[in-house]
Amino acid sequence: MSIVSQIGPRPEALPQDLLAIDIAAKLHMDSHATALVSTDFGGLTQAAPAAVFYPSSPHDIGVLVQFSYSSSRPFTVAPRGHGHSVRGQAFAPDGVVIDMASLGHGRTDRIIVHSDDSPFRYVDAGGEQLWIDVLHAALDHGLAPPSWTDYLHLTVGGTLSNGGVSGQAFRHGPQISNVYELDVVTGKGEMVTCSRDDNSELFYAVLGGLGQFGIITRARIGLEPAPQRVRWVRLIYDDFGEFTRDQERLITMISASKEMQKKGRGFDYVEGSVLVADGSLIGSWRVSRPRHPTELESSLDFLLQQCATPRQAKQIHAQLLSSSAFHHPHSAYISARLVSVYGRLGLHPDAHSVFRASPDRRSSLLWNSILRANLARGHSLEALSLYHEMRALGALPEGFTFPLVIRACAALGVPRLCSSVHNHTVSMGFQGHLHVANELIIMYGNIGRMDLARQVFDAMPLRNVVSWNTLISGCSRNHDCEAAQNIFRLMESTGFEPNPVTWTALLSAHARCRRHDEVIGLFDKMRAKGVKATAEAVAVALSVYPYVCSAALEKGKEMHSFAIRSGLEAYAFVKNSLICMYGKLGDREDAERLFSETAVKDSVSWNALISSYAAAGLSSEAYEIFARMEKTREFTPNVVSWSAVIGGFASDGMVEHSLELFRQMQQAGVAPNSVTVATVLSACAELSALRSGKELHGHSIRGLMDHNLLVANGLLNMYTKSGSLREGQSVFNRMEDKDLISWNSMIAGYGVHGFCDQALGAFSDMVRAGCEPDGITFIALLSACGHSGRVSQGRRLFDQMVDEYKIPPCVEHYSCMVDLLGRAGLLGEARLLVECMPMKPNACVWGALLNSCRIYGNTAAAEDTMARVLGLEAQATGNYMLLSNIYAACGRWEDSARVRVMTKVKGLKKSPGQSWIEVKSSVHAFSAGSALPPGAEDVYEVLEDLYQHMESDKFALDGPLLQVVVQGDWAVD
């Protein structure tokens, strides 16, 4: 028999527009992928496809077949199950082979047993599923198929396409006689459900049709009660024909005897082994090791893909070592597969051990697998180090290596490093590679350089839908929904059809820009256009309901109902989004109910509940869930879990808890990311914990995070709020890319420290740099002018904000202006501004005016203002204290005492003023009359020494004011 062979894949044999459809990313054209599907089971024929397709759903298969059917350049499409087809049935020379096994990757819903009490019991099994797995799933319910294949490691779709004849066929008929219903992808790409009653012609044509009439993606197979015990008889023959005749005779003879059947002594199945001349057994092939390298790779490929636990992976690893599989010519592929499995299961040391022990260290496939394993663990620096080692050994990177290297640089977020890797891809000649260019777009989007992302996009010689989607996603990540919308329109005008991923990216862009109502509108528009709502799109829509102003919970429940009707609620990330939505809306009952109903909880499920409670201000409840997660020992809190509880305590004002949790996080060996560091820096800023902030700064430098924009802004805020303006300036000056938050933080820092000129200079630099100011910018500027008495400058800035930048003044702006005028003694003008405000003044505005009355001792104005304040904040003790101090400063002691008595009558108590000091990275808080914390004696010694110096320098305090301040009930900082 002749052997037909081809040198390798020819991607040019496929039409180029195939790469423009939304499933193109699942096509693999590398020689390693095509080699696995180029040889039949017997090793008699070879034919290389142009590509291998790894679908994630039957819909993907339909899209591919439909494209081939309608294309001006049709190509062969052939499904491949577990690689047991013979005579080229699963070949697609210069076409596309569909790897059916990928349908079941990570899915638990591809085998569903229906085992109710009715006589009609069955199992729905995906066409890619193995009979061994179908049998085990059925046996868990006490059921079994009446007939199955002799060798259980064959696929359902493959055997049914070939009739499914086995040793049980003599009594129970072939497997196809026990099939009730099929889901089939036809030659036109249509997805059709057929049975004996519906589309019966297709049903009977597909069963036993050798794959010529359709691709089976689901089969409904009848089940019956499994026997409690079986008899196993094995006969040894030296003639195969004699064995088959005896097999048929035994089954039919005993089956015909009613008496034997009543006694339960009938045979359902007879297995035999044929002894041939060399002493080997033909019937023992099911337990023998594959002899052909391609057969070995195919078997191992399947087994490794099915590994779900570390124990299974190590068992296969041990079998590989005993079979000398690492020493044949295809060992690099086997090593790469094993590295990938260990990486997926989180067994990082084992992945590295396999990688280091591989005899073929020049295979790009092996290097790609270890790079991918490191990136999955967040070890970006180690991935880059490995890439340098790869180059030093002379191993050549290829088109699938560079996206991994680019991803590592993007994860580090260092702009200079990102620019270097881009230049490197150009020097290596990969700038036009589709996957490389797409990854570069993602990288630049991650570091906020959408201008460079657009340059890469515009220079691409070939684009696909993924290219458009990554560009829109980059705009989304950078909160630029206008740009995302414009690119979406351009995509449509150039002939590319937006797919569900495109719509999801657009929805995400508007969600990040807090255009919550527009997200709901776009979601409705997407459905009106006939685009099927994906689980991802539903998850984005659910994320905005906590921020919708009216009837948020009611509307969220409507979307929940839609998810149930669409069959999307079962998706893990949809359920997690529902948990988040209910948690953020304060509906703890529904949030915990959905969490408890989640059959397979993972770390994301726990994090959804923790983060939603933290965002709703329920930091203590969030920590309780966090503690429950730790106690389960099934999941270890990861960086997201820690960041959520740390951020929750920080948002609720319990910053000491945040710092303590951060220290516990480090002790637990969990590496913080940029979000964690920025959150803890914010807590340090609130406490003025400069030493802890500096330690975090050092940590961020060691982790190459100090150039990350989020971290850099956190450092700037921490230093300026902790009184270390010089270090803040240093951080600001080193920032390569400054955003609006950076400029606002620096301007506010100058203002707080009384450097109004520098704040105004920074504002001028900001405008020259092309950064558009916002309302917060002007709050910082007006506050700086107020603390420096720059009334004229403050007025000009207020007018500039309204006239030039079209920013409508809010209450905070008016509060700053009232404070500015009041501090300058212009109480009448300040009062007039309050009365002319377009919105109702709040307590902050009146409080600013009241404070100005205190400064200038204007008791008449203070009494009138106090009446307004009490109308808004009748229970605020601080306002009474301020009025009492105003009376005392003017010598009106009786009025001062009357105010104090009034607060006691009303039952108002002043929260004791607290001060804190940082000692050896620990923050100690203390207040008047509290127990002395450790080390407080030393603090008071220093204070006493300062007091003696003040006395010697004849430092004078206002006597009456001192008399009020030192009274126990009114001790102030």
Which residues have CB under 8 Å from 5's CB, separation 6+? 46, 47
Catalytic choice (28, 105, 114, 150): 150
727-769 pLDDT, tens per residue? 999 999 998 888 889 999 999 999 988 899 999 999 999 999 8
**Would you give the distance in Å from CA 82 to the centre of its chain?**
32
Q: What's the one-letter identity of residue 335?
A: S
In this structure, of 243-257, 362-376, 557-571, 747-761, the range with the lowest mean pLDDT score is 243-257
Q: What is the CATH number of the domain that holds 76?
A: 3.30.43.10
The overall average pLDDT reported for the chain is 78
Total number of domains constituting the chain: 3
Nearest alpha carbon to residue 646 among 616, 676, 686, 606: 676
861-909 pLDDT, tens per residue? 666 666 566 555 555 565 666 666 666 666 667 666 666 666 665 555 5
Residue 36 domain-assigned (yes or no) = yes
* Cα–Cα dist 195/217, whole Å: 14
Sign of CA dihedral 223, 224, 227, 231: negative
* Cα–Cα dist 336/582, whole Å: 43
Are residue 61 and residue 27 in the same domain, yes or no? Answer: yes
122-168 pLDDT, tens per residue? 999 999 999 888 998 998 888 988 877 777 888 899 888 877 766 56
Are residue 53 and residue 89 in the same domain, yes or no? Answer: yes
Between 594 and 958, residue with greater pLDDT: 594
Neighbour-count burial of 199, counting CB atoms closer than 10 A to its CB (0-12 exposed, 13-18 middle, 19+ buried): middle
**Would you give the distance in Å from CA 175 to the centre of its chain?**
43
Q: Which of 104, 119, 136 is the last residue of a domain?
A: 104
Question: Are the C-beta atoms of residues 926 and 915 closer than 8 Å to each other?
Answer: yes
262-310 pLDDT, tens per residue? 555 555 555 554 444 443 333 333 333 333 444 445 555 556 666 777 8
Which residues have CB under 8 Å from 655's CB, separation 6+? 649, 683, 684, 686, 687
For residue 924, the model assigns a pLDDT of 60
Q: In this structure, what token pair is assigned to residue 358?
A: 């591989």
Q: What's the one-letter identity of residue 326?
A: F
Question: Per-residue pLDDT for 172 more than 80?
Answer: no
Question: Per-residue pLDDT for 551 more than 80?
Answer: no
* Cα–Cα dist 796/328, whole Å: 80
Catalytic choice (32, 82, 84, 516): 84
Q: Where are the alpha helices (DSSP H) in 28-168?
A: 31-36, 58-70, 131-139, 156-161
Residue 356 domain-assigned (yes or no) = no
Nearest alpha carbon to residue 736 among 426, 478, 419: 419
Residue 678 domain-assigned (yes or no) = no
Residue 821 domain-assigned (yes or no) = no
* C-alpha to C-alpha distances, 215 to 22, 53, 162, 463, nearest whole angstrom: 21, 14, 12, 30
Between 465 and 615, residue with greater pLDDT: 465
Are residue 67 and residue 197 in the same domain, yes or no? Answer: no
* Cα–Cα dist 802/709, whole Å: 30
Question: Are the C-beta atoms of residues 50 and 43 closer than 8 Å to each other?
Answer: no
* Cα–Cα dist 521/528, whole Å: 11
* Cα–Cα dist 569/565, whole Å: 8
Are residue 119 and residue 138 in the same domain, yes or no? Answer: yes
Are residue 153 and residue 216 in the same domain, yes or no? Answer: yes
Instruction: Decide if 84 is catalytic.
Output: yes
Between 647 and 934, residue with greater pLDDT: 647
Question: Which helix (H) or strand (E) is 335 found in, with range?
Answer: helix 331-344
DSSP string, 537-566: HHHHHHHHGGG-SSSHHHHHHHHHHHHHHT
Q: Where are the alpha helices (DSSP H) in 909-969?
A: 936-952, 959-965
Q: In this structure, what token pair is assigned to residue 748?
A: 């506010």
Are residue 920 and residue 945 in the same domain, yes or no? Answer: yes
Instruction: Decide if 150 is catalytic.
Output: yes
**Max Cα distance, the chain (Å):** 123
The vertex-399 CA angle with 394 and 404, nearest 5°, equals: 85
Are residue 18 and residue 65 in the same domain, yes or no? Answer: yes
Nearest alpha carbon to residue 399 among 359, 437, 370, 358: 437
Are residue 124 and residue 225 in the same domain, yes or no? Answer: yes
Q: What is the CATH number of the domain that holds 117?
A: 3.30.465.10
For residue 903, the model assigns a pLDDT of 64
Catalytic choice (271, 660, 686, 765): 271
Phi, psi of 388 (to 5 degrees): -65, -40
Q: In this structure, what token pair is assigned to residue 114?
A: 């229906």
Residue 21 domain-assigned (yes or no) = yes
596-608 pLDDT, tens per residue? 777 777 777 888 8
DSSP bridge partners of 123: 113, 221
Are residue 158 and residue 224 in the same domain, yes or no? Answer: yes
Are residue 206 and residue 153 in the same domain, yes or no? Answer: yes
Question: Are the C-beta atoms of residues 74 and 95 closer than 8 Å to each other?
Answer: no
Three-class SS of residue 225? strand
Residue 637 domain-assigned (yes or no) = no
DSSP string, 723-757: T-HHHHHHHHHH-SS--HHHHHHHHHHHHHTT-HH
* Cα–Cα dist 940/169, whole Å: 95
501-520 pLDDT, tens per residue? 999 999 989 888 888 888 88
Q: Where are the alpha helices (DSSP H) in 824-858?
A: 827-835, 843-856
Residue 73 domain-assigned (yes or no) = yes
For residue 316, the model assigns a pLDDT of 73
For residue 546, the model assigns a pLDDT of 81
Confidence of residue 951 (pLDDT cuts 50, 70, 90): low
For residue 53, the model assigns a pLDDT of 94
For residue 730, the model assigns a pLDDT of 92
* Cα–Cα dist 157/169, whole Å: 18
Q: In this structure, what token pair is assigned to residue 374?
A: 């490191």
Residue 442 domain-assigned (yes or no) = no
Between 782 and 854, residue with greater pLDDT: 782
**Would you give the distance in Å from CA 641 to the centre of its chain?**
13
Are residue 151 and residue 51 in the same domain, yes or no? Answer: no
Question: Per-residue pLDDT for 933 more than 70?
Answer: no
Q: In this structure, what token pair is assigned to residue 938?
A: 């030393």
Are residue 88 and residue 155 in the same domain, yes or no? Answer: no
Buried b (16+ CB within 10 A) or exposed e, 852-861: bbbeeebbeb
Question: Per-residue pLDDT for 958 more than 80?
Answer: no
Sign of CA dihedral 581, 583, 584, 585: positive
Question: Per-residue pLDDT for 587 more than 60?
Answer: yes
Question: Which helix (H) or strand (E) is 424 found in, with range?
Answer: helix 415-427
* Cα–Cα dist 707/111, whole Å: 49
Confidence of residue 399 (pLDDT cuts 50, 70, 90): confident
Instruction: Decide if 707 is catalytic.
Output: no
Question: Are the C-beta atoms of residues 878 and 910 closer than 8 Å to each other?
Answer: yes
Instruction: Give the structural domain span for 162.
Output: 111-230+245-253
